[in-house]
Amino acid sequence: MEIDQKEADHLISVLEQIKESLITNNAIKLNELSNHTIHSSCSYQDSGSITLAVVVYALSKIIERQDYKKISRWDKFVRKFNSFLDLAIIAIKEKKQDSYEKYLIMAGKAFRSTSVNLRPYIEEVIRKAAINKGSKIYEHGISLGQATKLLGITQWELAEYIGQKNISETIQNSPIDIKKRANMAMDFFS
């Protein structure tokens, strides 16, 4: 599917903002931009945008937790990552969808290889990010099976996460008075 000019301009803006947010270590903005990217990826279901959404979310978590300070040559990684985003922007401008996706996937691979010492941790953050973004894709009306296929996660992982999320939202949205909660606990333990 070809990206229309309005969406192309939007993607370029998002990629530019991701670059800036990464340079300034702005975790909150990266998280917001990941959500913007998920919206685009739901419309076009391209692997590049989906990879980018997951990686940007994972980067936001690593920056938020200050774990980027443990990555030797973080600045060099940021330059390399941003250079792939620059190439993706050029590909969008030249209406080369395949190249756009390729450069975003290369950016994701660059992130995965940032630190040998932290590789297991980074892989775990990326896996959790994929599950989180899978739930967002599912919320946008994409089937559970298609969301897991797009993200390379299992249906079980995504269904479990969605179930936990729905339970916690239900609990938060329906306050129960203290007396009723105490009675429920007593019933549960008796």
The first and second tokens of residue 26, run together, are 């702005």
The yes-or-no verdict on residue 171 having pLDDT over 50 is no
Q: What is the pTM of this model?
A: 0.74
Closest CA to 57 of 118, 110, 129: 129
pLDDT reported for residue 188: 59
Q: Given a cut of 80, is residue 183 above it in pLDDT? A: no
Amino acid at 109: K
Residue with the bigger pLDDT between 140 and 45: it is 140
**pLDDT at residue 172, as a whole number:** 45
Q: What is the mean pLDDT of the chain?
A: 83
Cβ atoms 131, 153 nearer than 8 A:
yes
**Domain-by-domain residue ranges, the chain?**
5-159
Residue 44 has pLDDT above 70, yes or no: no
The DSSP result for the chain, as a single string, is -PPPHHHHHHHHHHHHHHHHHHHTT-HHHHHHHHHHHHHHHHHH--HHHHHHHHHHHHHHHHHHTTGGGGSTTHHHHHHHHHHHHHHHHHHHHTT-HHHHHHHHHHHHHHHHTS-TTTHHHHHHHHHHHHHHHHHHHHHTT--HHHHHHHHT--HHHHHHHHHHHHHHHHHHHS---HHHHHHHHHHHH-
